[in-house]
A and B are shown apart, each in its own frame.
Chain A
Amino acid sequence: MDLSYGEEAEALRREVRAFVEEHRTQAPLGAIGLGGRPDERVRRWQALLIERGYAARNVPREYGGFGAPPDPLARIVIDEEFARAGISRGIGGQGPDMLVPTLLEHGTEEQRRRYVGPTLRGEMVWCQGYSEPEAGSDLANVRTSAVLEGDDFVVTGHKIWTTSAHFSDMMFCLVRTEPERPRHAGLSYLLIPMASAGISVQPLMTMTGKAEFNQVFFDGVRVPRASIVGERGEGWRIANATLVHERNMLGSAAQIDALFQALLRLARTETRDDRPLIEDPLVRDRLMRLQAEVLAARWHASRLLSTRLRGEPVGIAGLVVKLTGCELAHQISSTALELLGEVGALYERSPHERAGGLWVFQQMFSLGLIIGGGTAQIQKNIIGERGLGLPREARGDV
Chain B
Amino acid sequence: MDFGLSAEQLLLEESLGGLLDARAPTQRARALAAADDAFDPDLWQAVVGLGVTGILVPVEHGGSGLGLLDAAVAAWTVGARATPLPFLGTTVMAPVALRTAGTPEQQGRYLPRIVRGELRIGIAATEAISKRDGAGIRRDGGVLTGSALFVIDAESADVFLIAVEDGSLALLPRDARGLEVRRLVTVDRTRRVGELVLGSVPVAEWLGAAPDTAAQATRRMIDAGRLMLAADALGAADRALALAVEWAKTRRQFGRTIGSFQAVKHLCAEMAAAIEPARSLLWWAAHAFDHLPDEAALAATHAKAHLTEVASQVVRTATEVHGGTGFTAECDVQLFFKRAALDRHLLGSPALLREHAARLQGL
Contact = CB atoms under 8 A, between A and B. Distances in A.
A142 to B, nearest CB: 23
A273 B262 CA distance: 47
A323 B269 CA distance: 10
A336 interface: no
Interface residues of A, number: 51
B256 interface: yes
Nearest to B304: A292
B259 A287 contact: no
B244 to A, nearest CB: 9
Given A284-B358, A292-B302, A309 B249 contact: no
Contact of B1 (A2, A289, A296, A297): A2
Contacts of A285: 351, 354-355
A202 B321 CA distance: 46
A303 B3 contact: yes
A317 interface: yes
Given A310-B4, A390-B264, 18 more contacts: A1-B69, A4-B1, A289-B309, A296-B280, A299-B281, A300-B276, A302-B1, A303-B3, A306-B4, A320-B273, A380-B265, A381-B266, A381-B269, A383-B273, A384-B265, A388-B245, A388-B269, A394-B256
B6 interface: yes
Contacts of B273: 320, 323-324, 380, 383
Contacts, number: 158
Nearest to B290: A1
Contact of A296 (B245, B249, B269, B277): B277
Pick the 4 closest A-B CB pairs, nearest first: A288-B354, A292-B306, A384-B265, A380-B269
12 contacts: A3-B1, A292-B306, A295-B284, A303-B283, A306-B3, A377-B262, A380-B265, A385-B265, A387-B269, A390-B259, A390-B265, A393-B260
Interface of A: 1-6, 9, 73, 268, 278, 281, 284-285, 287-289, 291-293, 295-297, 299-300, 302-303, 305-307, 309-310, 316-317, 320, 323-324, 377, 379-381, 383-385, 387-394
A30 to B, nearest CB: 31
Contacts of B260: 390-394
Contacts of A390: 245, 248-249, 259-260, 264-265, 268
Contact of B306 (A296, A324, A392): A296
B278 A306 contact: no
A310 B2 CA distance: 8
Given A292-B305, A295-B284, A384-B269, A317 B1 contact: no
Interface in B288-308: 291-292, 299, 302-303, 305-306
Given A278-B363, A287-B358, A323-B273, A306 B259 contact: no
With most chain A CB atoms within 10 A of its CB, the pick from B1, B292, B299 is B1
With most chain B CB atoms within 10 A of its CB, the pick from A2, A5, A295, A377 is A295
Contact of A391 (B257, B277, B354): B257
B212 interface: no
Interface string B3-34: 11110000000000000000000000000000
A48 B148 CA distance: 67
B349 to A, nearest CB: 12
A384 B259 contact: yes
Interface of B: 1-6, 69, 245, 248-249, 256-257, 259-262, 264-266, 268-270, 272-274, 276-281, 283-284, 287, 291-292, 299, 302-303, 305-306, 309, 351, 354-355, 357-358, 363
Nearest to A6: B1
Nearest to B262: A393
A2 B69 CA distance: 12
With most chain A CB atoms within 10 A of its CB, the pick from B248, B273, B351 is B273
A302 B288 CA distance: 14
A1 B287 contact: yes
Contacts of B292: 3
A288 B355 contact: yes
Given A324-B277, A381-B262, A390-B245, A291 B302 contact: yes
Contacts of B259: 384, 390-391
Given A278-B363, A388-B268, A391-B249, A9 B262 contact: no
Nearest to B281: A296
A274 to B, nearest CB: 18
With most chain B CB atoms within 10 A of its CB, the pick from A278, A297, A305, A391 is A391
Contacts of A296: 277-278, 280-281, 306
B268 A384 contact: yes
Contacts of A291: 302, 357
Given A1-B69, A380-B266, A394-B260, A299 B3 contact: yes
A300 B265 contact: no
With most chain B CB atoms within 10 A of its CB, the pick from A268, A291, A381 is A291
With most chain B CB atoms within 10 A of its CB, the pick from A287, A305, A381, A390 is A390
A163 B51 CA distance: 58
Given A296-B306, A303-B280, A309 B363 contact: no
A3 B3 contact: yes
Contact of A309 (B2, B248, B270, B276): B2
A149 to B, nearest CB: 42
Contacts of B261: 393
B1 A300 contact: no
A9 B1 contact: yes
Contacts of B262: 377, 380-381, 393
Contacts of B303: 292
Nearest to A297: B277
Contacts of B2: 1-2, 306, 309-310
Contacts of B354: 284-285, 288-289, 292
Given A377-B266, A384-B266, A1 B256 contact: no
Given A3-B1, A317-B276, A390-B245, A292 B256 contact: no
A302 B292 CA distance: 16
